[in-house]
Amino acid sequence: MTWADFWALIATLNGEVTEENCHRLAEELSRHPVSDIVGFAERHAEALYRLDQEKFGTLPVIDMTLRDGSPFPQSSDVFLYARCAVVAAGRAVWESVFSDTDKFAPYTSTECDGERLLYVPDEAYELATGKEWDRTTRHCFESYSNRDGWPHLRN
């Protein structure tokens, strides 16, 4: 799947990760060949992997503070879901955050939960084949897996 095809499919979300939008995307994707579903999963994992950088992961959650008033750090899950929300916002937003970290910050909000986007390829595969998918992708999308994005975590 090309990046252009991936972003065209992402555009069906209208910038928001909702149950309805993700189901619509999964249904659309399920009408494509299985190779496209696999390609979508690969592109999605890579998009998330590229966002897995310290400059984004160390931003605080914007609408929360600790008891002492200091910034509330993102957990690994919050960071993953924020990255999903950035991807769901579309290509222009995704590309813009790399040159302006401040554009990532709004997606750390507790109001921006992109978790549901993670399950779209699996849902599409099951709709297309009638089988569950035990998948792996070339890029790991879990937080802190991009060693180049987290230089101090390198071994």
Q: 120-129 and 34-51 helices cross at what angle (nearest 10)? A: 170
Calpha distance 142→67 (Å, rounded): 28
Which pLDDT does position 52 carry in this prediction?
A: 98
What CA–CA distances, in Å, run from 35 to 6, 12, 31, 97, 139? 13, 20, 11, 29, 17
Does 83 map to a domain? Answer: yes
pLDDT tens string 73-128: 999 999 999 999 999 999 999 999 999 999 999 999 988 889 999 999 999 999 99
Does 147 map to a domain? Answer: no
Which pLDDT does position 111 carry in this prediction?
A: 83
Does 31 map to a domain? Answer: yes
Does 84 map to a domain? Answer: yes
Domain that holds residue 102: 3-132
Calpha distance 87→76 (Å, rounded): 17
Tracing tokens 């992997």 back to the chain, one arrives at 49
**Structural domain tally of the chain?**
1
